Amino acid sequence: MGLPNARLAYLGTALNQSFPSNLLQLDAQSTLDKPSKSPSAGSPGKRTYNFAMSLALLLLPDFALILFGFVLNRITNWGRDFWGGLEKLVYFVLFPALLFNSIAKQKLDFAAAAPALQTAVITVLIGISLAYVAKWVIKADHKAYASSFQTAFRFNSYVGLAIAGRLHGEAGIAAFGIVIGIVVPLCNIASVWMLAKHAEASVLKELVQNPLILATVGGVLYSLSGLPLPETLQMLISRMGAASLACGLLAVGAALTLADVGKNAGLIGYNTVVKLVAMPLAAVLLAKHFGMTGVYFDMVVLFGALPTATSAYILAIRMGGDGPVVAQGVTVSTLFGMLAIPLWLLFARGI
């Protein structure tokens, strides 16, 4: 899915910046770049302020949708069945359409993508390792620990794809799709493995049925085939993808809850620090180490700073885990993530 042309034009005019993508061979302009260092750009402090304001204006609509979803769930009597159905529609139908459409239309260069994929995998492994250490650092109920384990490294694809599109349009969505296509299996394996003591589950089945993985693989294969998407099919998939972002963010907001969060405050706090501090820091340092720039640099920093996936709650419930502690962890991570994402993007551009 692409952002509407009018919105891209507005963002491009407002920011008046562009840089080349290291992943995708594109002619389109990026919608966000590091502030110019030319004398006419003003003092360093002024440039940083302008960049921060531009970034805030880009992210504000997406965070506003999350908060709107939270309010809607509190002022309506639609019930959990409605929001659960919306989450399933987004996860199994609309988001896969967005990923497939964005990736299938791009010319992919996996050699150039390698540093970003390495960065993402190492970042996730760091998160998993630190989450495992929590069993010795935090004294918590084993069921609560096993359930919340995943909240330290799983990431919210809804928020990620929405912001990727805000920052770089279809180029950002495609690049982010490639990254999550690699790390989603790793995250799922670790999450299911930790919860496996509470329920019988097939890790392989979880992976081959994951709609985001299937959509990513399908988009890559179609892109490599060189075949154009039929116009009617492209319009259909594009409109489905357009619906996914707003619906996904509303569903994230509706799932927020802080009920009884103090009961497992230590465990929730530890996992939140791993997710929103340790992982983005690792992503930034690794991206700098690998010499990454442009779209891919932003995507791996964004990936590292994303809050926990709301689907972590669904997995915990389905496998007999502690659903409430996961819901609390997701809520805390999402609320602090609204601050962490722009701060880490700003920090990454400034070092």
Q: From its phi and psi, is residue 79 left (phi > 0), alpha (psi between -120 and 50) or beta?
A: left
* pLDDT score recorded for residue 28: 34
20 domain residue, yes or no: no
Query: Which residue type does 99 have?
Result: L
What distances in angstroms separate CA 49 from CA 43, 128, 278, 346, 350, one per listed residue?
Answer: 10, 35, 25, 10, 11
Take residue 154 and report the two structure tokens written for it: 């799983």
277 domain residue, yes or no: yes
Distance CA 159, CA 115 (A): 23
Number of domains in the chain: 1
Q: From its phi and psi, is residue 154 left (phi > 0), alpha (psi between -120 and 50) or beta?
A: beta
Tell me which residue range forms the domain holding 123.
109-209+260-350
Distance CA 187, CA 175 (A): 18
Q: Which residue has the tokens 């302020």?
A: 49
344 domain residue, yes or no: yes
* pLDDT score recorded for residue 321: 80
Q: What is the pTM of this model?
A: 0.74
List all residues 6 or more positions away from 285 whose beta carbon is below 8 Å from its beta carbon.
Answer: none
Q: For residue range 157-186, list pLDDT tens digits in order.
A: 888 988 998 888 888 888 898 888 888 888
* pLDDT score recorded for residue 298: 93
Specify burial of residue 228 (Cβ count, 10 A radius: 0-12, 13-18, 19+): exposed
79 domain residue, yes or no: no
List all residues 6 or more positions away from 55 whose beta carbon is below 8 Å from its beta carbon.
Answer: 32, 342, 345, 346
Nearest to 190 by CA among 279, 137, 124, 105: 124
134 domain residue, yes or no: yes
What distances in angstroms separate CA 175 from CA 216, 332, 340, one per listed residue?
Answer: 11, 27, 21
* pLDDT score recorded for residue 197: 59
Q: What is the DSSP track for 118-129?
A: HHHHHHHHHHHH
Please give the average pLDDT of every successive group of 10 residues along the chain, which has 351 residues: 40 37 37 45 64 76 88 91 88 87 77 89 96 87 88 90 88 87 84 71 69 84 87 90 86 80 85 96 96 92 92 76 84 89 89 64
Reported as half-sphere exposure (CB side, CA atoms, 13 A), residue 60 has a value of 7
215 domain residue, yes or no: no
Rounded to the nearest angstrom, the gap between the alpha carbon of residue 233 and the centroid of all alpha carbons in its chain is 26
100 domain residue, yes or no: no
82 domain residue, yes or no: no
Contact indicator for 78, 152 with CB cutoff of 8 Å: no
* Distance spanning both ends of the chain, measured CA to CA: 32
